[in-house]
Structure 1
């Protein structure tokens, strides 16, 4: 295995699971709809808002990576839902499915050997596929930790 293949493999593993801490699927496992939308005092977001933010931002990073005609979203209003909770269980499940789907599509990009991981995108300001992969990994990890914190504060965490 050459260095390029090894880098792709390691990025893929970091996108799909975690080694040093809880990964996203573990953090949301067993959540009920009430907990998802519960506002904890002194925190500006609910678990729902964090998950929906992850979905939106991750899809945005994927769009940026795939589309030379990318149009940026407005920060912060386009990245955060206003509602504290999903309308129903189906909306929650759709968000989770979209997070998984965009991560899967991005993983396929990472593993496309026709694409240079380090070559800057022509439509960016030096960003590359590697940078966007690291951003997705970092972003998902950061907000997963926040989800775990909220679950601890709600006394809804057994980790």
Structure 2
């Protein structure tokens, strides 16, 4: 197998999670519905706010990677929702589905594009750089989800 294919496989593993840390899917599996909107004492976010932030930021990086017409949300206000909990189960499911769907679309970019070439409308970014940024950003906030779950007694020991 050539080095490029090895790199793509490793990036996909990184985006999907696992290995050295839990991935998004694992971090939300078994999460009690009532825990989604709890903001533990002295912490700035609920799990819902973190999930939405992951969704918005990952979507932004994906759309930037695909289109010069994309305009990023205003930082920081449009990257963080004010509501601490989803309005209902449908809103939660829609957010989780978009995170997974957008991740899969980005993985498709990795598989079928030139990951090293600078994105024409950027200032030096490439698909490779965006993949690493998505993985890094998501891992950071996934860890926060797990910490909140631990504080709430909602994480398997």
Q: How many pairs does the alignment contain?
A: 157
2:126 to 125, 128, 133: 128
Per the TM alignment, residue 30 of structure 1 is displaced from its structure 2 partner at its CA by 1.0
Residue 89 (structure 2) aligns with: 89
Q: What are the Cα deviations for residues 39-64 of structure 1, in whole angstroms up to 9, with x where unaligned?
A: 11111100000001000000000000
Q: Does 1:19 align with 2:19?
A: yes
Per the TM alignment, residue 70 of structure 1 is displaced from its structure 2 partner at its CA by 2.3
CA distance in 2, matches of 1:55, 1:3: 31
1:153 to 139, 151, 154: 151
Local SS of the residue matching 1:49: helix
Per the TM alignment, residue 69 of structure 1 is displaced from its structure 2 partner at its CA by 2.1
CA distance in 1, matches of 2:38, 2:20: 28
Structure 1 segments, 4+ long, off by >2 Å, are none
Per the TM alignment, residue 82 of structure 1 is displaced from its structure 2 partner at its CA by 0.7
Does the CA-based 8 Å contact 1:69-1:123 persist in structure 2? no
Local SS of the residue matching 1:78: helix
Per the normalisation by structure 1, the TM-score is 0.95
CA distance in 2, matches of 1:52, 1:27: 14
Residue 47 (structure 1) aligns with: 47
CA distance in 1, matches of 2:27, 2:89: 17
Local SS of the residue matching 1:132: helix
The more displaced of 27-36 and 51-60 is 27-36
Tell me how large the CA RMSD over aligned residues is: 0.9
Residue 107 (structure 2) aligns with: 107
Per the normalisation by structure 2, the TM-score is 0.96
Local SS of the residue matching 2:59: helix
Q: Which runs of 5+ in 2 are unaligned?
A: none
CA distance in 2, matches of 1:13, 1:156: 26
